[in-house]
A and B are shown apart, each in its own frame.
Chain A
Amino acid sequence: MADTIRVELNGKEREVCAGLTVRGLLDTLNLEPGLVVVERNREILARARYHEVAVREGDRLEFVHFVGGGA
């Protein structure tokens, strides 16, 4: 059993593998990094840094993308 850490992802508590980068977490969720914007502890994370920023215990992460909408 790999170690896990607890994070808040899109408003919900979630256990994820310890030692993942943001990119790694996106991959485990089958999300396309090029289409997802990541906010980490209320700060937007540059896409170029997804592969180097580690997900840490207690991080509050928001994964957002574009959906259909008008006004």
Chain B
Amino acid sequence: MGPEPNELLAIGGEEFHSRLIVGTGKYANPEVMVEAIRESGAEMVTVAVRRVDLDRSEGILQVLDPTEFFLLANTAGCFTADDAVRYARLARAAGFNEWIKLEVIGDVETLMPDTQATIEAARVLVGEGFKVMAYTNDDLVTALRLEDAGCVSVMPLASPIGSGLGLVNPYFIREIKRRLVVPVIVDAGVGTASDACLTMEQGVDGILMNTALAGADYPVAMARAMRFAVHAGRLAFMAGRMPAREIAIPTSPTRGMLG
């Protein structure tokens, strides 16, 4: 009996067939975005909350069917706990669900999270009945505090948002996964399929990515690669890899060689 290849991802009382969550930003055009998202196999997609441009209303729901995907609104662009709570409330008032991808940015240059403000906002939002998935850095203590605050998922970064640098701290991602009960979704920093596969091989429950797809020369092709990579990485983790050794061990019998 091997691992179940089609196990579901359970978060906050919902079940998802895909362990890949994708963003909807920065695509060259809406048609490519929708095609890439479909090709990725993702069910959960993130969206941002912004003012309507009164000169040309161009909301994402004009192109993305909210019955086809599970919308996960984010608080991207917020720099204080108060702002993040305000954006989350606006997102919930849109009427789709009570989920929020919470992010509170602390530094403009690196987009590293303000972890203290994130924990503070998480407590408020959980108290208001939100299902909070919290973006954070790779710090174990912050991840534990976010879990204590009642987040349904903790989302440590692989590397800075939009950087494509891949998984820079596999050890602490593994530690966070080992210590938390709630699902750990790695959010941000994955650049290509091998990054996604390596990240999933650490045992985390899923990955959220955006620029890796939107910033590829051919987003639809990269979406397909990412779908396979996330699946392959998960299966490899579940399969239990062979120990790495710095010596060679023959695979063919050493006996029976000709004299």
Q: Which residues of A contact B (CB under 8 A)?
A: 9-11, 29-32, 35-37, 39, 44, 46-47, 62-71
A-B pairs with the 5 shortest C-beta distances?
Answer: A70-B23, A70-B210, A69-B48, A68-B24, A65-B59
- Option from B46, B58, B89 in Cβ contact (under 8 Å) with A70: B46
CA distance A30 to B211 in the complex (A): 32
Answer whether residue B254 sits at the interface, using C-beta atoms and an 8 A cutoff.
Answer: no
Cβ proximity bits B44-71 to A, threshold 8 Å, 1 near / 0 not: 0011111110100111111000000001
Q: In this complex, which of A32, A37, A46 has the most chain B Cβ atoms within 10 angstroms of its Cβ?
A: A37
Contact B161 A71 (CB under 8 A): yes
6 residue pairs from A and B, CB less than 8 Å apart: A37-B93, A46-B93, A66-B47, A66-B73, A68-B47, A69-B25
Compute how far the CA of A37 lies from the CA of B162 in the bound complex, rounded to whole angstroms: 28
Q: Is the CB of A35 within 8 A of B93?
A: no
| Residues of the A chain whose Cβ atoms lie less than 8 Å from the Cβ of B48 | 66-69
> Which residues of chain B are within 8 angstroms of A62 by Cβ–Cβ distance?
51, 90
**Bound-complex Cα distance A19 to B46 (A):** 38
- Whether B90 pairs with A67 at a CB distance below 8 angstroms is no
Contacts known (A37-B90, A39-B90); A67 close to B60, Cβ less than 8 A: yes
Tell me whether B209 is interfacial, beta carbon within 8 Å: yes
Q: A32 to B73: give the CA distance in the assembly, Å.
A: 19
Residues of the A chain whose Cβ atoms lie less than 8 Å from the Cβ of B101: 71
Secondary structure at the B interface, as helix, strand, loop or mixed, is: mixed
Q: Is the CB of A31 within 8 A of B61?
A: no
Contact A70 B24 (CB under 8 A): yes
Q: Nearest Cβ in chain A — how far from B20, in angstroms?
A: 13
B residues with CB within 8 A of A = 22-27, 33, 46-52, 54, 57-62, 71, 73-74, 76, 89-91, 93-95, 101, 103, 111, 135, 161-162, 187-188, 208-211, 214
Bound Cα distance A31, B135 (Å): 32
A67 and B59 contact, CB distance less than 8 A: yes
Question: Complex formed: what's the CA distance from A70 to B209 in Å?
Answer: 7
Q: Is the beta-carbon distance between A44 and B90 smaller than 8 angstroms?
A: yes
Q: What's the least CB distance linking B154 to chain A, in Å?
A: 14
With A37-B90, A39-B90 as known contacts, state yes or no: A71 contacts B54, CB within 8 Å: no
**Chain B residue contacts of A30, Cβ below 8 A:** 57
Given known A68-B26, A71-B161, contact A10–B52 (CB-CB < 8 A): yes
Q: Are B47 and A44 in contact (CB under 8 A)?
A: no
A66 and B23: CB pair below 8 A?
A: no
Please measure, in the bound complex, the distance between the C-alpha atom of A11 and the C-alpha atom of B53, giving whole angstroms: 11
Contact of A71 among B58, B74, B95 (CB under 8 A): B74
Residues of A within 8 A of B74 (CB): 69-71
Task: Establish whether residues B211 and A63, one from each chain, have CB atoms under 8 Å apart when the complex forms.
Answer: no
7 further A-B pairs in the complex, CB-CB below 8 A; given A64-B51, A68-B24: A30-B57, A35-B61, A46-B93, A64-B90, A69-B25, A71-B111, A71-B161
